Chains A and B, each alone.
Chain A
């Protein structure tokens, strides 16, 4: 069965063990984590996690309810498809020798990515964008010789003028 992926933002107390509580909840209850990004916010003591997960409607309902039940979780925001802007960064090391070098540069240019490290045999690229855009650049770079890939996982923020507190 195919399940859609969902993006959930979780505002948590920036406390000892909170990441373990959230990730443990997912593993203990058999929920899936596709990616998880976490860092402090502008408010003191508050961190924000962006979790991309998969599951049907019932699973998603349980995930949000279970997250809300955690004492260290302050708010759970379940983004439906259009309500959020998602971005992800990837660092990509590709083989870039003679005939490939120009092609890599063209792809980097098309995707408005950046070369952040160069050697005679490789380029390291920084690419930012919606996760589908990262997928697309990787698709093009892969045949040229992808040596290493690091992705941050998506972060998301709601569209419009309102902040998460409304």
Chain B
């Protein structure tokens, strides 16, 4: 059947299972939007800024595991998605972004609202496509979704010129997808798995170090089973939070720059690190030269480029994390004696770890006069449902959430780990809430980042997305201020926001509910009232202004050189 290119694209989205897109119309996607009125199966949410729409698609993808879809018009609409695309790229989030493009005959002519979007996004996409002919749309869409979600997931851009949206073609959906240059290696090599098991059974001071790859592979259950079977302690990166329940005695919690003392000490003193879906980034390793000096490293990752990029690896296993973990569990079934012996060998290590946990637990000093941000996070955990989704922005509050929220389930933390994008939290929460209208979705922000995409409050109110937004207001860009306090002699260059914003009035102006307190005694009441409200709420907590995130490994220091109280 013949149809126009716009309709073909929408039919393809339906066949890919897309039921929700975030997009913003404009001159070069007006034909696409016109066709959208004829396609009832796809729900469309109109953000107030393309960056918000892209982060919302990202939040949707993180919370569901499905491919998030965002649409923007050419030129400024498209460039506004760039931060969102880069954010998704750094955290390996499956996303397809469709940008309008000027008519093919005008490409390269500096036409109105023309940018070379393929060129701009080349280093921040997994792949990109320019559609030149409407008959290519089905195979391009099919490939785009396949590339976005398979292997190490990531964002894919489809640049869609206006004339191709208008032109007619026969719609034919390809039954299969085959890309000769793209064959992700999903199956872990059985011999490597066997070798890994032998190394694990011989370990005396092992640690499992888990990254976001475990969550994107939907392998949290297998990881938890493996850790419990071996009785290996587990530490996670920021992106890995939720892959292992933090109330488990084996949990070391987060490691790295603001990680738990026990986690960093365990890594430094370990004789075996089983790295699963993690990439040894600089916020995790500290100074590379002194990182885990005694450890043999087994590195499981679906992306071969992650292996040996930053650290030496003794045993690489390239494969889908879930496939490898399942194979490891099966292999362990044959090792009853080895496992028994292993347990006897681990008792000293478990004692060391308990000692570190007791010596410096993640903690803070409570106050009766000012609100401690950590207290707010603890109260949020206490008062929210176990499957509540927590989105964060970037900065101090993000680290307090990571340290104090106690994540138990995968896909319950939405946070920009790799790129560290301020302004991410609020729209990401919106995307998750759109995917799960019945679940509690909480967004914790600072008073800095929340203003970077605050306009999406309108989208939340309009679409009845009842996100509970917590602003930890210290009237500072707190994380940079903390660095200035510790490393720049308290020279607070441009980190005091000075003008106090009335966030309650701002919420009300958008039609949302606003609540505020500066009294520790009222925190619980405010959270309860917000969670009970059937609509978006902004909670503003005026917190102790110069509270720091601790412990802290200063940039460039070794993991065991933590600032514990400053």
- A residues near B, CB below 8 A? 12-13, 16-17, 20-21, 24, 28, 58, 61-62, 65-66, 68-74
Contacts and interface: CB of A to CB of B under 8 A. Distances in A.
Interface of B: 118-119, 122-123, 126-128, 130, 147, 179-182, 303-305, 308-309
Contact of B305 (A16, A21, A66): A66
Contacts of A70: 181
Contacts of B309: 62
Contacts of B305: 62, 65-66, 69
A65 B309 CA distance: 10
B130 A16 contact: yes
B126 A71 contact: yes
A68 B304 CA distance: 9
Contacts of B308: 58, 61-62
Given A62-B309, A74-B181, A20 B119 contact: yes
B182 A17 contact: no
A99 to B, nearest CB: 52
Contacts of B182: 71
B303 A69 contact: yes
Contacts of B304: 65, 68-69
Contacts of B147: 71
A68 to B, nearest CB: 7
Contacts of B180: 13, 74
Describe A's contact surface by its main secondary structure. helix
Contacts of A69: 303-305
7 contacts: A17-B130, A20-B122, A58-B308, A62-B305, A65-B304, A69-B305, A74-B180
Contacts of B130: 16-17
Contacts of A73: 181
B409 to A, nearest CB: 31
Contacts, number: 38
Question: Which 7 residue pairs are nearest across A and B when measured between Cβ atoms?
Answer: A65-B305, A71-B127, A74-B181, A71-B182, A28-B123, A65-B304, A73-B181
A25 to B, nearest CB: 8
B181 A24 contact: no
Q: Which among A13, A58, A69, A73 has the highest number of chain B CB atoms within 10 Å?
A: A69
Given A65-B304, A74-B181, 4 more contacts: A17-B122, A20-B119, A58-B308, A69-B303
A10 to B, nearest CB: 10
Contacts of B127: 71
Contact of A72 (B119, B181, B303): B181
Contacts of A68: 304
B122 A24 contact: yes
A21 B122 contact: yes
B107 to A, nearest CB: 11
A70 B309 CA distance: 17
A21 B118 CA distance: 10
A71 B181 contact: yes
Contact of A24 (B123, B126, B179): B123
Nearest to A17: B118
A129 to B, nearest CB: 33
A24 B128 CA distance: 14
Nearest to B128: A17
A73 B309 CA distance: 20
Nearest to B180: A74
Given A58-B308, A71-B147, A13 B181 contact: yes
A73 B183 CA distance: 11
A18 B182 CA distance: 14
A152 B84 CA distance: 40
Contacts of A74: 180-181
Contacts of B181: 12-13, 70-74
B128 to A, nearest CB: 8
Contacts of A24: 122-123
A117 B128 CA distance: 45
A70 B119 CA distance: 15
A53 to B, nearest CB: 16
Contacts of A71: 126-127, 147, 179, 181-182
A74 B182 CA distance: 8
Nearest to B122: A24
A71 B154 CA distance: 12
Nearest to A58: B308
B299 to A, nearest CB: 13
Contacts of A20: 119, 122
B10 to A, nearest CB: 24
A74 B179 CA distance: 9
A162 to B, nearest CB: 20
B144 to A, nearest CB: 10
Nearest to B126: A71
Nearest to A70: B181
Contacts of B123: 24, 28
A70 B180 CA distance: 11
Nearest to A69: B305
A73 B126 CA distance: 13
Nearest to A11: B181
A17 B127 CA distance: 11
A38 to B, nearest CB: 16
Contacts of A28: 123
Nearest to A16: B130
Q: Which among B127, B130, B181, B303 has the highest number of chain A CB atoms within 10 Å?
A: B181
A78 B418 CA distance: 31
A73 B181 CA distance: 5
Nearest to A74: B181
A70 B151 CA distance: 13
A165 to B, nearest CB: 12
A68 B122 CA distance: 16
